[in-house]
Amino acid sequence: MANYKKKRIKKIKRNFSWIGVVLFCIFFAIAGVITVALADVFLSMFIKNKADGGFAFAKYMAGVYESAVDKEDVYETLDKADRAYVIKDKKGNVIHEHGKITAANKGEEVRDKLMMTGTLGTVSINGLVSEDADGNIDRAYYVIDEDGQITATSVDTNSTEEMTSDSGDKTYLYSDTEAQYITTYGGEVSIDLLLFYHDYVSKPFNEVFTDRDSIVSLPYWIGYDVDGGDNLFIVQSFVNIELSDITYILIAIGLIILIAGLLFFTMVISTIVNAVNNRRAVNLLFTDMVTKGRNWLWFVYRGTPFLAKGSTAKNNYAVVNLVFVKYRNYCMCHSLEQGEIVLKRVHDRLKRLVNKKEMVVHVSNSNFALLLKYNDKEELNARLNSIINDLSSVDTAHSFKFQAGVDLVGVYKNEKGRVVKRKDIDIEREYNNACEARTTLKGSDDSGIAYFDQKMIDDQKWIDTVTERQGYAISNEEFKVYYQPKYDPVTDTLKGAEALIRWINDDMGFVPPGKFIPIFEKNGFITSIDHYMLEHVAKDQKEWLDQGKNLVPVSVNFSRAHFAESDLAEQIRDSVDKIGTPHKYIEIELTESAFFDDKKALISTITRLREYGFAVSMDDFGSGYSSLNSLKDMPLDVLKLDAEFFRGENAGERGEIVVAEAIKLAKSLNMRTVAEGVEIKEQVDFLAAQGCDMIQGYYYAKPMVKEDYEGAMEAE
Ligand code: C2E
Ligand code: CA
Ligand code: CA
């Protein structure tokens, strides 16, 4: 198969199978990126949130320290927080430490706003701690009760006024004895963290900032300037991952897995659907619509690699073009649909007649392609005959005919006689050869088998060469007129001649008419050739007439192809008149096959030619089909007895009787006779005795060039 076809098929197959996978990968990559991004945002928010809690706690401790630094139980109070901390002076000397100090450096100063969160009994406290540029710590808080209501807002240390919540519908006052200081701060409620110290100094810190059961604690250290910047209060804090966090994380991971899983599932399903569709499409690509079996494309796509395989190299194969003869007729008489039903039956029957390692496909119309394994040609021939025989009864009401063109793919061997792979095999080419072989049976409507041979290719090449060159050859005068004289067998005198064409050129040398006339007859160029010959003969005759030579009529062959032209007689007359040759020196030969055409038109043309003064002869009388019937109606001047009468078996006694009768018949129809192809003296004598008027044969002379013919004329 041509490479471009293979590429196309591969492309179709590839397109179908990979689009889904590629889309799947793209979607999956996008989903992955989104998942990772979401996880990243979620985790960083989570960690930050956790760390913020730590900041608040540490800052709170620092606040407690600062506000109670002058109290003797300050360290005792701070130690209760159960947090490692260290207070250092500027030189790094430890003033007090508690717990295991693992901080490597002195810690970062934190001056940002920090959110602190904690629970106090049943209420939760949400506060904001900030430090301004002067080191003053501003605090704000609000308290939320179990019902989620704001039950207290922060107090101003300088004011005793009541505060209103943002919603305005409730007023709360922080009522603890030492906490009458309420203020609004920067639009947000704030509270002096000291209040916590005073109120809950007797309580453990973890009751103020309850640490829920943490599963993982990641320690980090935060330092704050205390004592007016003279000392540094460094507190250990933790990012605590608690059980509830794990639950959230698990839920989040679960959600992500669920979404990714859904995506994955969708993509897997779509890929499967795609793959199934792809299979269907590829299947469709290789399915014949009429027989539902495999099609030509499949035959070509699979056949060539099959024949090229090492495992098949030792077997002989036959590529067959099997044709249902007169399928069109059958469709016309019945219906196309009915015809296709028969084709399907033929296909199904063939499927049963070939084995698994062989192939059978419906190509198109009435054509099937088969790949059969065989051992020897006789066995193959018998098998094909039996297949054809079997198929003929595929429909009980009819008997069908089948023709098979066969191309044999034998075993390839190298110089050492070893079997080699058929590397250059192309089943399309082999099938084409099989078709070519089948065309040789085209003339017949009967079943038959024809085998391809190299000569068919050579013939076709020759036809192409001839067709290609014909135009140039005629304009370049490559066609030469040869003259074959006709003699009176009694007196041995020249009575006429036939003009016979020869094609002579430098490349091809001398080409006899049998090699190109049938091609011209098929391709229509014969009409130009015959007119060309007529003109040349008329010119020669005129030249010889002017030279005072002893002229005799010269016959020119006119092929049957001309008789479609109703004015053929006029064309002949006009071209002869243009040259000025008297009509009596030109004779027109019509081949017997011409008589099968439109009889009326033929009679009319012959009659007019004779009226114009041209003699008309029937060429090759007795060859092929009987033309006795034609003789009855045709007003002819000359009957040319075919050379076959004088060859081989025909030349016996029975042959002589037929020839003698034919001559008699011609005479009684007032026709002269010419015997063609006479080569021996006995035949000449016999013909003379029968009263044959002229003999054209090798006995007297072969067709000759113009100059030699001039010599023959002069010899008279
Ligand atoms: P044809 O018209 O029957 O020509 C007679 C053929 O018999 C010639 O073959 C001639 O050479 C050959 N022949 C004559 N006497 C003998 C003989 O004693 N023994 C043998 N073996 N052969 C003999 P040629 O020239 O090869 O022509 C073959 C055919 O080609 C012609 O058969 C004719 O049908 C066709 N042809 C030749 N020239 C022309 C032409 O100009 N126009 C057309 N339409 N056909 C032509
Ligand atoms: Ca002839
Ligand atoms: Ca002839």
**Which ligand 1 atom sits closest to the C-alpha of 696?**
15
Q: Identify the domain boundary among 452, 473, 502.
A: 452
pLDDT at 108: 33
C-beta separation of 673 from 638 below 8 A = yes
In the predicted model, is pLDDT for residue 369 greater than 90? yes
Q: How far is the CA of 585 from the centre of ligand 2 (A)?
A: 16
pLDDT at 650: 60
- CA 403 vs. chain centroid, Å, equals 31
What residue owns the CA closest to ligand 1's atom 30? 513
Convert 184-230 into a string of H (helix), E (strand) and C (coil): EECCEEECCCHHHHHHHCCCCHHHHCCCCCEEEEEEEEEEEEEHHHC
Q: How far is the CA of 640 from the centre of ligand 2 (A)?
A: 8
Nearest ligand to the C-alpha atom of residue 500: 1
Query: Both 359 and 430 in a single domain?
Result: yes
**Which ligand 1 atom sits closest to the C-alpha of 620?**
3
Probe residue for ligand 1, chosen from 500, 536, 556, 589 as the CB with the greatest number of ligand atoms within 8 Å:
500
pLDDT tens, residue by residue, 607-646: 999 999 999 999 999 886 556 777 888 899 999 999 988 8
**Which ligand 1 atom sits closest to the C-alpha of 589?**
2
Q: How confident is the model at residue 190 (pLDDT cuts 50, 70, 90)?
A: very low
Cα–Cα distance between 486 and 280 in angstroms, integer? 76
Query: Both 527 and 594 in a single domain?
Result: yes
Residue 361, phi then psi, degrees to nearest 5: -140, 155
**Which ligand 1 atom sits closest to the C-alpha of 559?**
44
Domain for residue 130, yes or no?
A: no
Probe residue for ligand 1, chosen from 483, 517, 527, 562 as the CB with the greatest number of ligand atoms within 8 Å:
517
In the predicted model, is pLDDT for residue 462 greater than 50? yes
Q: Ligand 1 pocket, 148 CB below 6 A?
A: no
Q: Identify the domain boundary among 434, 452, 470.
A: 452
Contacting residues for 265 by C-beta, under 8 A, at least 6 apart: none
Q: How confident is the model at residue 345 (pLDDT cuts 50, 70, 90)?
A: very high
- Owner of token pair 């009751």: 207
Q: Residue 398 is part of a domain; what is its CATH number?
A: 3.30.70.270
What residue owns the CA closest to ligand 1's atom 17? 677
Query: Both 322 and 267 in a single domain?
Result: no
Cα–Cα distance between 433 and 193 in angstroms, integer? 104
Q: Ligand 1 pocket, 526 CB below 6 A?
A: yes
Handedness of CA 679, 685, 687, 688 (dihedral sign): positive
Q: How confident is the model at residue 116 (pLDDT cuts 50, 70, 90)?
A: very low
Q: How far is the CA of 619 from the centre of ligand 3 (A)?
A: 5
Query: Both 224 and 349 in a single domain?
Result: no
- Owner of token pair 């003789």: 631
Tokens of 372: 């059969």
- C-alpha distances (whole Å) from 326 to each of 336, 402, 535 are 13, 9, 44
Mean pLDDT of 490-502: 97
Cα–Cα distance between 602 and 104 in angstroms, integer? 125
Q: Ligand 1 pocket, 131 CB below 6 A?
A: no
Query: Both 512 and 591 in a single domain?
Result: yes
- C-alpha distances (whole Å) from 278 to each of 266, 282, 295, 304, 480 are 18, 6, 18, 24, 65
Domain for residue 556, yes or no?
A: yes
Identify which of 641, 565, 554, 573 has the alpha carbon closest to the alpha carbon of residue 611.
573
Nearest ligand to the C-alpha atom of residue 646: 1
Domain for residue 165, yes or no?
A: no
Domain for residue 58, yes or no?
A: yes
- C-alpha distances (whole Å) from 33 to each of 36, 211, 255, 396 are 5, 35, 15, 69
Domain that holds residue 689: 482-714
Domain for residue 651, yes or no?
A: yes
Query: Both 521 and 436 in a single domain?
Result: no
In the predicted model, is pLDDT for residue 172 greater than 70? no
Q: Ligand 1 pocket, 606 CB below 6 A?
A: no
Q: How far is the CA of 484 from the centre of ligand 1 (A)?
A: 9
Tokens of 567: 């004015």
DSSP for 321-360?
EEEETTHHHHHHHS-HHHHHHHHHHHHHHHHHHS-TTSEE
Cα–Cα distance between 604 and 567 in angstroms, integer? 10
What residue owns the CA closest to ligand 1's atom 10? 703
Least confident of 92-96, 159-163, 212-216, 423-427: 159-163
pLDDT at 209: 44
Mean pLDDT of 445-449: 95
Q: How far is the CA of 675 from the centre of ligand 3 (A)?
A: 9
Tokens of 371: 């790949």
pLDDT at 499: 98
Domain for residue 682, yes or no?
A: yes
Query: Both 308 and 363 in a single domain?
Result: yes
Q: How far is the CA of 674 from the centre of ligand 3 (A)?
A: 10
Tokens of 634: 């045709």
What 3-state class would DSSP assign to 677?
coil
Domain for residue 344, yes or no?
A: yes
Contacting residues for 205 by C-beta, under 8 A, at least 6 apart: 61, 80, 81, 82, 83
Q: How far is the CA of 320 from the centre of ligand 1 (A)?
A: 38
Mean of the per-residue pLDDT values of the chain:
81
**Which ligand 1 atom sits closest to the C-alpha of 698?**
18
Query: Both 557 and 677 in a single domain?
Result: yes
Q: How far is the CA of 512 from the centre of ligand 3 (A)?
A: 15
Query: Both 538 and 580 in a single domain?
Result: yes
Q: How confident is the model at residue 471 (pLDDT cuts 50, 70, 90)?
A: very high
Q: Ligand 1 pocket, 679 CB below 6 A?
A: yes
Query: Both 275 and 303 in a single domain?
Result: no
| Stretch (H or E) spanning 447 | none
Q: How far is the CA of 706 from the centre of ligand 2 (A)?
A: 17
In the predicted model, is pLDDT for residue 365 greater than 50? yes
Query: Both 300 and 275 in a single domain?
Result: no
Q: How far is the CA of 499 from the centre of ligand 1 (A)?
A: 9
Q: Ligand 1 pocket, 642 CB below 6 A?
A: no
Domain for residue 310, yes or no?
A: yes
Tokens of 111: 């001056």
Q: The pTM is what?
A: 0.59
Nearest ligand to the C-alpha atom of residue 590: 2
C-beta separation of 485 from 705 below 8 A = no
Q: Residue 547 is part of a domain; what is its CATH number?
A: 3.20.20.450
Higher pLDDT, 487 or 564: 487
Q: Ligand 1 pocket, 622 CB below 6 A?
A: no
What residue owns the CA closest to ligand 1's atom 20? 677
Query: Both 258 and 311 in a single domain?
Result: no
- Let me know how long the chain is: 716
Q: How confident is the model at residue 113 (pLDDT cuts 50, 70, 90)?
A: very low
Number of domains in the chain: 3
Q: How confident is the model at residue 117 (pLDDT cuts 50, 70, 90)?
A: very low
